[in-house]
Amino acid sequence: MSDTVREAGDGGGTPSVTDIPDDPRLHGPPQTDRVVFGVTSLLTLAFIAWGASSTESLKNASTSMLNWVIDNGGWAFVLSASGFVIFAIWLAVSKYGRITLGKEGEDPEFRTVSWIAMMFSAGMGIGLMFYGVSEPLGHFSTPPPGTDPQDAAQAMDTAMATTMFHWTLHPWAIYAVVGLAIAYSCFRRGRRQTISAVFTPLIGTRRANGWGGRVIDILAIFATLFGSAASLGLGALQIGSGLKVLGWMDSVSTTLLVGVITVLTIAFILSAVSGIAKGVQMLSNINMVLAVILAVFVFVVGPTILILNLVPTSLGSFIGQLPQLAGRTEASSGDDVGGWLRSWTVFYWAWWISWTPFVGMFIARISRGRTIRQFIGGVILVPSVVSLAWFAVFGGSAMKLQADKKLSGSSTPEGQLFDVLHQYPLATVMSILVMILVGIFFVSGADAASIVMGTLSQKGTFEPTRLVVIFWGVVTGAVAAIMLLIGGGSDDALTGLQNLTILVAVPFMVVMIAMCWALMRDLRSDPLIVRGQKGEEAVELAVIAGHEQYDGDFEFQIGPGGNGNGNGDDDGSGVDEDDGAGVRSGG
C-alpha cells in the first residue's frame, strides 16, 4: 500500500484516507544490506587497527576534534536539546497525541511495567549506577559557576537541580523524538524499521532506500557499536572497582577486566539471540526488582527524612532554575561557565544524541500499539520521576555523608557508590548486588544494541538473524577489550572511544532536526487527522447550508445510512426518512 494518503479517482481531487499498511513484520525473511553491513564492518576494523597501532594518536585526534566541536557548536547542542523538549511536549498535548503507533485500536505489545523497565534499562540504567552518587556529589562539593549556595542545604538543592537537568526531561525528550519518528514510520506507515525510512516523506522512497538512507543507517550502527563498547569497558571498570573495594583484589589487572568483558559479552549475546520478548524483557524485569531493593535499602538505612525532603525541594529548584540552566552559554556567563558547560551540559547533550540511534530504535521497537500521547508521557515523564527518586536516594545519602565528613573524597566516580554503601550495614552484600546490577544493566542494554545493529544491517527486519546479532555482539566485546588492553587496563584507554561516540552526535543532531520535519509531514496526512479535518469541513459546510436554507433556524440530524445530505424528506414532514446525516429546519 501507499505510505501516504492517496488521491481518490472521483474527478474532484478529494483525498480519501487509505487503510493502515500491513504489519511490517510480515515483509519476508531478513535480507542483509551488504553495503551497510560491509562499510560499517570495515570502518570498525579500521578504527580498531588505528587504536591498536597508535593509541596516543587516536586519543589526541579525537580529543582535538571533540574540543573544536564543543567550543564552536556547543550553542547548537543547548538550543536543539531544549527544542526537542518543547516539540515532544507539544505533540503530546496536540491533536496528534490521539494517533496510535499501529492500527487504530491495536493493543500495546508489552505490558506497561515491562515496557518501562526495558526502556529504562536501555536508556540510561547503567548510567544511573555510575553517576547516581558521583554527579550530585560533584556538584555539591564544587557548585557550578554562577551559583552561590550559602549553606549545605542550598548546595544540595543546586546540585540536585543541576543533576535533574542533565538526567530527566532533556535526555528523554531527545530519545522520544527519535523513537516516535521511527515507531510512527514503521508501525503506522508500514515502512522498514530503519532511521532512513523516516525520511521518506522528505526525500522519497527511492532515496530513503538508496545511498542517502544507507549513509544514515551506517552512521547509526557506528554510533551504537562504539557507544556500547565504551559502556562495556566502563562497566568492567566499575565491577573491577567493586572487587577491589570488597578486598577481593589488591589491584584490578587487565586480564581480569578482559575476563569480565568476555563473560558479559557472552551473556548479552545469549540474551540477544533469544529475542526481545524473552531475553531483554526478562533481564529488564529482574533488574528493576534488584534496583528497587537497592534503592529501598539505602532509603531505609540512610538519611530517610532528608531524602524525602529532597524530592519536593529538588523538583522546585529544578523548575525554578530551568530557564537559567537551559539558556546558560559561554557568551553570556564568562569563561568559567564555558569550561563547566564543556565538561557537563554540552558533553551530556552530545552523549545523549550520540545514543539516539540505538535507544530511539529500541524504544520504537517495544512501543507498538501505544498512542503518541502515551508514548511521550511514558518515555519522558516516567523515567524522569524514577531518576528524581534515584538521585534523591543515592545522591542525597552521599551528600549527607560528605557534609558530615564521612567520605574520603578520593574515590573515582565508579567507586563512589561502593564508598557510600560501606557507611551502612550489609555493605558487602549490597556491594555484590551493585556489581550484579551493573552487569545486568549492561547486558540488558547491550543485547538490545546488538538487535538494533542487526535490524539496521538487515533492512529493518524485526527479527535479525542470529549470526548477524552474534557478530555485532562479538565485535562490541572485542572493541572494548582491545581498548582496555592497549591502555593497560586504565580508564584512559576508553577516552578516545568515548570521544568518537560523542563526535557522531554532530551529524545526528542535524539528522534529528530533519526527523522532526519529516514526522510532521507524515502526521499532517495521517488517516485519523485527515478524517478529523474532513469532518470539520463537513460540519462547517453544513452550518453554512443551514444558515442559507433555513435562515439560521436549523438543527443537525445524524444517523446510519441515508444519503447524508438531508434531502430524504419527500413527504414534507421535515424528517429525513433515510435516517442519514443532514440538516433540517428547526421549526
How far is residue 399's CA from residue 231's CA, in Å, rounded to a whole number? 26
Is 10 a member of any domain?
Answer: no
Cell 538508496 appears where? 210
What pLDDT score was predicted for residue 61? 82
**Are the C-beta atoms of residues 339 and 71 closer than 8 Å to each other?**
no
Mean pLDDT confidence for 276-292: 75
Comparing 243-247, 292-296, 309-313, 513-517, which segment has the lowest mean pLDDT? 243-247
Q: Enter the pTM of the model.
A: 0.82
Which of 507, 525, 543 represents a domain boundary (last residue)? 525
Q: Residue 414's Cα: distance from chain center in Å?
A: 23
Q: Are residues 426 and 497 in the same domain?
A: yes
Shared domain check, 223 and 327:
yes
The H or E element spanning position 555 is strand 554-557
Predicted confidence band of residue 576 (pLDDT cuts 50, 70, 90): very low
Tell me, yes or no, whether 301 lies in a domain: yes
Quick one: angle between helices 304-327 and 281-301, nearest 10?
Answer: 120
Q: Answer for the pair 518, 291: CB distance below 8 angstroms, yes or no.
A: no
Name the most confidently modeled range: 478-482, 546-550, 583-587: 478-482
For residue 313, being part of any structural domain is answered with yes
How far apart, in whole angstroms, are the C-alpha atoms of residue 279 and residue 258? 24
Closest to 295 measured CA to CA, from 381, 161, 384, 389: 389
Q: Is residue 1 part of a domain?
A: no
Answer with the one of 473, 490, 525 that is the final residue of a domain: 525
pLDDT at 358: 82
Cβ partners under 8 Å of residue 228, min gap 6: 358, 445, 446, 449, 450, 476
User: What Cα–Cα distance (Å) separates residue 254 from each residue in 58, 88, 363?
Assistant: 20, 44, 34
One domain for residues 488 and 548: no
Short-list 231, 244, 234, 159, CA closest to 418: 244
528 alpha-carbon distance from chain centroid: 26
Average pLDDT over all residues of the chain: 81
Query: 518 and 538 in one domain?
Result: no
Q: Which domain holds residue 569?
A: 533-585
- Top-confidence residue, 239 or 500: 239
At 19-74, the pLDDT tens digits run 444 455 545 577 888 899 999 988 888 877 887 777 778 778 888 888 888 778 88
Task: Report the 10 Å Cβ neighbour count for 580.
Answer: 18
Q: Total domain count for the chain?
A: 2
Regarding whether 548 and 505 lie in a shared domain, the answer is: no
H/E stretch holding 585 = strand 582-585
- Confidence band of 182 (pLDDT split at 50, 70, 90): very high
Shared domain for 464 and 538, answered yes or no, is: no
Looking at the fold, whether 554 and 448 belong to one and the same domain comes out as no
If one compares 273 and 377, the residue with the highest pLDDT of the two is 377
pLDDT average, residue stretch 137-166: 90
Decide if 24 is inside a domain.
no
Residue 442 forms part of a structural domain:
yes
| Between 327 and 373, residue with greater pLDDT | 373
Cell of 352: 545523549
**Could you tell me if 208 and 175 lie in one domain?**
yes
Report whether 577 contacts 570 (CB < 8 A).
yes
Same domain, residue pair 460 and 542: no
Question: Residue 427: which CATH number?
Answer: 1.20.1740
Angstrom distance (rounded) from CA 253 to CA 250: 9
Residues 521 and 542 in one domain: no
CA-CA-CA-CA dihedral for 290, 291, 296, 302, to nearest 10: 120
Same domain, 514 and 560: no
Establish if 375 belongs to a structural domain. Answer: yes
**Confidence class for position 260, pLDDT limits 50, 70, 90:** confident
The grid coordinates of residue 145 equal 559557576
User: Three-class SS of residue 328?
Assistant: coil
Q: Within its chain, how far is the Cα of 492 from the centroid?
A: 27
**Domain end marker among 508, 525, 542:** 525
Considering the domain architecture, whether residues 434 and 569 belong to the same structural domain is answered as no
